Amino acid sequence: MIQLQTILTPGRSLVNVPGGSKKRVLEQIANLVARELPDLDGQDVFESLIAREKLGSTGFGNGIAIPHCRLVGCNAPISALLRLDTAVDFDAIDGEPVDLLFVLLVPEAATDAHLELLRQIASMLDRCDVRTSLRQADNSEALYQVVVDAQNQLNQG
């Protein structure tokens, strides 16, 4: 099982990201990923995320979205976590605006392991206590630590 903390870094865990619109948020994710991983092209990341959203919103309720896509040139799963300063409309299934985004980028030849990662992220964010902790984290390190702690509890459970 892939541990979430191996694909996420404190540098890709951001608090108080300016929201604005769904498109703007996806743009920020793409820029963040491209800045942290110079091998990846920000425009490719952005277009892949947008294309995936067109198939159906990745906003799945409780103010959470898990934007994800397959990406050419991506060799291993990459994750980012953003908490917005203002929730944005993400066409989520419950109609609630989104303020927490857990991003998952996987290689083009995605496998069952990648689907498993998505399920792991979704079930972690399904927990009210985890969402509350993510919303209370006041810096990148704290935001990242919430994921590590949630993962550790899961492993012990």
Instruction: Identify the active-site residue in 68, 83, 114, 131.
Output: 68
Beta pairing partners, 65: 59, 101
**Single-letter code of the amino acid located at 112:** D
End-to-end CA distance of the chain: 15
Which 3 state secondary structure label does DSSP give 118? helix
Write phi, then psi, for 11 (nearest 5 degrees): -65, -20
Concerning whether 68 is annotated as a catalytic residue, the answer is yes
- Rounded Cα distance between 23 and 21, Å, is 5
* Structure tokens that stand for 142 in this block: 């704290």
Residue 104 · residue 66 · CB < 8 Å: yes
| Nearest to 92, CA basis, from 59, 69, 70 | 59
What amino acid positions are annotated as catalytic residues?
68
